[in-house]
Chain A
Amino acid sequence: MIENKEENLEKTESEKDIEAKPRDRSKLSDICADIKVSQIMSKETTVIRDTEPIENIIELMAKTPYHSYPVLNSDEELVGVVDQDNLLEFLFFERSHRKHHTHLMAIKALSEEASTLMVHQPVTLSPDANLCDAADIMIKYHIDRLCVSKDKKLLGVVSKSDLIKKIHGFWGK
């Protein structure tokens, strides 16, 4: 009995020890809730103009490691996002199954520039959103990169890897 008690005591103490570490889920959530996405977003991000020809977008995607790119219009407003899926659907439209031959897809297949290829009005985050908000959307809806914008102006981009890098930073401390 005494031994057991001691074991229990030891467990309780080790649990306390774990709670004190930043690895603890609730602690991590608390820390993330206090950090705004504007603090970790990449401000200097690669963007595409809405008039950008598709050839240039292919070249850009071949040279850079990102999966999606914000699209800006001439007023510097965020108007859409082009991702690898959009481009592959465009390139392989002729091979796609009949069920994908909808009117909208046919129009996209005739695209010559980003404005017709892109997904209009993407999901964005406000700069005041915290890391938990960003993680929630990324996990729930399988989105790799989110644009951070205010009044239609792009402020930066935050990705899953930005979040992971930040969390890794806590562990290092």
Chain B
Amino acid sequence: MEVLFQILVILFLAKILSEVCERSGLPGIIGEIGAGFIFVLALKPDDIETFTFFAELGAIFLLFTAGYKEVHIKDLKAASTKALIPTISQIVVAFGFGFILGKVFGFSFIESLFMAVAFSPTSISVVVKTLIDTDYLSSKPGSMMLTSAIFDDIIGIFLLSIVVSFATLNQFPSGLHILGILGQILVFIVIIAIMGWKLFPRLFEYVQKMHTKESLFSFVILIALFSAYFSEQFGLHAVIGAFFAGILISDIPLAKIESVQKKVSGIAYGFFTPLFFAFIGLSVDIEVLYSTGIFAILVIVLALSGKLIGGFIGTKLVGFSSMDSLIFGIGMMPRAGVELVVIAIGKELGIISNEVFSAIVLMVVVSIVITPILLEISIRYKERAVAVSE
């Protein structure tokens, strides 16, 4: 009963606070993180083991739906290689800032690496509303942001797979070790890709004809869980398998029937992912943040400026104006997905401390709140400058 009560209260709080955030113009994820935070302050639960398991499933579903609904192989092929330079530039600078900050504060190699990876991804959906409102979605920096975000997700997941494989090391791995890990990832991708290409489409044909209730929906969920489990057998984290499975089945016609997709979204966004975000809020240690104020501030400043500077340099290299480069850099600042999965895994493996975890959650919340504001200011500033010069 205790577990039922926990899930009930957290899901209720998550939905109510998410609604409050949405109505005040903020993404609902802040409310969901807040729900976990308030839950632990108000009820101080002793045993959250079962809830933690649900939250892990939430992380699996978060990345599975990201691959299933948001990343299409065709988009990747179509994405201009011109976006590669700004994408790599902003990821490298943000990654570098994260790693250096960890080293300056005396963290271990692997903890610094986890921090660096958590600094790297971007959640573009946070700024789409601002881009629409300012009529900048189809602008040069706007469309570059969208293209860049396609690569960003893939690179983020790739970095996560590597860093999880390094988790057992406490020093810089040897070349042979890196090759071994890359080989492992490659073998996993090849096996799962062959399954996605040859086996899954045939199985979907059979499953579609089954008389059992919701067989197609269940099969989609089974593939997510199977790939998650299968990736663990290759020393990769479950979320990585789920992400690749999502990408693969997003190309299978029967798997992407709208009514099936809606059911998968329903179980993911209606139940599992709010529990994951609430778990993130629940794991934040506010007292640690007070005692390490400077570190938390540096995490926020460097994570955001890493994206800004990297994005600015990258777009300048491909010929953007300074204002457009600035707009692009700001647009790359928000984080709201993969980075939280990275730190959740880091914490689960006992690699990152409460200090780092809590500071990064704070950074995510700050980035979600301030990025749309900064983006709108920079776009208005550019428009004023253009109007004056005319």
Interface residues of A, Cβ cutoff 8 Å to B: 93-94, 98-99, 101-107, 109-110, 119-124, 136-137, 140-143
- The residue from A103, A105, A106, A141 contacting B259, defined by CB atoms under 8 A apart: A141
Digitize B114-128: 1 where CB-to-A-CB distance is under 8 Å, 0 elsewhere.
000000000011001
Give 19 CB contacts A-B under 8 Å.
Answer: A98-B22, A101-B125, A101-B129, A104-B75, A106-B146, A109-B137, A119-B256, A120-B74, A120-B251, A121-B251, A121-B256, A122-B253, A123-B253, A123-B257, A140-B259, A141-B259, A141-B260, A142-B258, A142-B259
Task: Quote the shortest CB–CB distance from B89 to chain A (angstroms).
Answer: 20
- B interface, CB within 8 angstroms of A: 22, 27-28, 69-70, 72, 74-75, 124-125, 128-129, 131-132, 137-138, 143, 146, 149-150, 208-209, 251-254, 256-260
Given the contacts A94-B132, A98-B129, A141-B259, A103 and B137 also touching, CB distance less than 8 Å: no
C-alpha gap A45/B252 in the complex (Å)? 24
Complex Cα distance, B72 from A101, in Å, reads: 16
Chain A contact residues, majority secondary structure: helix
Q: Do B72 and A98 have beta carbons less than 8 Å apart?
A: no
Apart from A120-B74, A121-B253, list 11 A-B contacts with CB within 8 A.
A98-B22, A103-B70, A106-B125, A106-B128, A107-B146, A109-B137, A110-B137, A124-B253, A141-B257, A141-B258, A141-B260
Set A93, A107, A142: member contacting B75, Cβ < 8 A = A107
Q: A109-B137, A142-B259 are contacts. A101–B128 as well, Cβ < 8 Å?
A: yes
CB distance from A10 to the nearest CB of B (A): 36
Question: Is B137 within 8 A of A102, CB to CB?
Answer: no
Question: In the complex, A102→B137 CA distance in Å?
Answer: 12
Option from B149, B251, B258 in Cβ contact (under 8 Å) with A103: B149
The one of A102, A110, A121 that contacts B69, using a Cβ cutoff of 8 Å = A102
In the complex, A134→B182 CA distance in Å?
Answer: 45
